Structure 1
Amino acid sequence: MPMPFGFIMKETALTQLHVQNGAKMVEFGGWHMPLQFSNIVNEHMAVRKDVGVFDVSHMGDLLISGSGALKLLERLCTRNISKTKIGSARYTHMLNNEGHIIDDMLITPLGNERFFVVPNAARKDVILNWIKENKRPDEQVEIMDMSDSLCCIAVQGPRSAEIAQDLLDTDVSSMKRWKTRMSSPVWCSSEKEPTVAKWSTAPDFDDVGNPHMAWIMVSRTGYTGEDGFEIIMQNHLGPGAWSTLLKRGATPVGLGARDTLRLEKGYLLSGTDFDNDRSTIETGYEWVVDFSKEFIGKDIMLKQKEEGYSLLCGIKVESKGIPRHGFEVWADEKMVSTVTSGGMSPVLETGIAMAYMPEKYQKEGTKVQLVQRTRKMNGVLVKMPFV
């Protein structure tokens, strides 16, 4: 889709570095982002076998605080946020009044009635408005949008802990999955930049959002299915961190490989696998729903559980061809669905796809055809993740 006249893409703190390094750049969610640095398959396999680094600074960064923040987030989220410990990131969905997913996100309680929320780039403003619309007059809630002032680098792969340790003064190897810590940036501790050397004590969660102190928040999370870390910092720290990671041997990875990596694991892509049109249980992510509490969209999903629903299923191609978004899915000589996500799996060396299948066609082993005009390829339903 062409951009509106006068549209200016946003740049991350690392965009100019990517351009200088010859990355192929594209528009994504309003941001000027690297699609690939070299070869998508090579970048993909570097993450699976070694370590890769991603610029994911386009993601939203919201700080929700106040005495009414927890109550508001509980009402909006499918997960039970009150059961999430301080310093633990929790993956959740927010639904609209029709029970459809507005966006998926990570929420991390920081203590002192503060919550760090990371929605997708293209949905950040929608989520901001949704939070504001659902805030009740008697609820004390403050919302700080820090998206334009923060940089986020994802370090992913079997060697991610080794490489990430070069940036941080905390022992990342001891961190458990989904845990979050604060750190100071050790890679520039000897530099004399006044914008960097502002910390006098180790930062803690209370420093998140403080423009007068250098802080880093690191979480053992990711979007690749490999071990990894997502490291959020102020923009001025980003270029030094990125350069340090590349010097240590990490492979820079663009959006192209990020998509094939997440597809192999059956991870959802906002705006593609759901777009205000699917509920959480339809995606197969019922594990992120706590039906013991009240939240927007709960009643609709309970009704779906009683009446039945389409389910996002994995399809492995058994013939030549690469399936793409929008391909028709045929079974019993009729069209039964369309592909949401599709592509080539570098690990399996064959095409894979996801599609919402009616109840009759959700069983593993079901044979289907993927069709685009005169192109046809044979496929079979398989359990996800694909690898």
Structure 2
Amino acid sequence: MGKTTVSESMFIGWMECNKKYTEARELTYAEFVSKFVYVKKDRCWKPRKMRNTIGRLIWVPPSINEVFYLRRMLTHVRGPTSYIDISTVKNVIYSTFRKACLALGILADDTKYVEAIKEAKDWGSRHYLRKLFVTVMLSNSVNRPEELWNKTWEWLADGILYRERNIGGIPEFNDPIEAIVSAIYPNLIQKHTDESYLQRRAILASRIETINEINQYMLSLISGEEKEYLSCDSVGETKSASNDNYNTITSKFLNSLFTSSLSNHRIKLKIGAPIMLLRNLDQAKGLCNKSKSIITRLASHVIGAKMITGNKDDQDIYIPRMSMSPSQSTWPFKLIRKQFPIMLSYAMTINKSKGQSLRFIGLYLPTPIFSHGQLYVAISRVQSKSGLRILIHDKDNKPSYTTTNVVYKEMFQNV
């Protein structure tokens, strides 16, 4: 661009001439050569002495995009002194020549393409209708793509939404928890001890309260005697002077606290139920946080289980009670809970599902997801689209097909 031949081209020279001659500012680019002539040795335009020349513009195909729209503007704009002048319509500067053409109203409408899609919509499947739309768009002859889309999208999308809802959604239900359980755990009563069956599926939700509700509902469906385990909760000692203030906290209050990284105060279990470890017990043998097992024995102070994930060489495991504290919490004190480091794993929080790959995933969203990236994490746990079911409803249990995807834009500022 720094070359003299570029900076002093005939086109640039035309705009410079418009600055110098009042008469030039009354002419379009095609009309300009009838009254001005380009002098090569001086690299500039000068008034023509003999006025018998007819100007013309070289044809430009629509596929060249902005050059095509520039050419269209040159047949209407008179006396511009810069590219900005060419893209200005009624004192408004447009970012592209195409937008300027649209504002000037010199582009033909796309009615014929709307009518073409309208005529073809009753001929066959919507798959071929969408192919027709793509063919039209690739022809580079559509002047207003957004307008064409707005006028035809319902015909093009017909059948897609219905199919997607049937593939990924659960359209009708009376009890949402019963619906999501039936979709992900069909024939649970007959297969509730089948390792392969339990290992390949899970229900995900964003809140621990929801997870507890689903797990307890599913436990009630399987046969067997239920055994209940209660934790012993206390406040950990600290060197802070305010520690004395926590002595008044009651056990009842401590028992009511729960978080996804900590066992519940009250755990109900049955033989054959799947559980997930919440702490590392023996990493060498695969007894790690998030590993899954099936309960085989229930005693007062120890639980027997059989591993269904990780290293299965030594499958029979015994789980004792242990003292635990959450690594992070919003509480101003340190909660110490002595309990079995497990939770039922029919359903789990989205955060607990990280790193897993399952054949069947049920995403249950009675309330919107509230953390950055959680929706992506949940959906990416499933191995295929056919194994995903999503149930969304409002506070009145009416089904919905939309939810909020939380993304903190601040995270991308330094990327």
TM-score normalised to structure 1 length: 0.21
* Higher-strand-fraction structure: 1
Of structures 1 and 2, the one with the larger relative CO (CA 8 A, separation 6+) is 1
Larger Rg: 2
TM-score normalised to structure 2 length: 0.20
* Higher-helix-fraction structure: 2
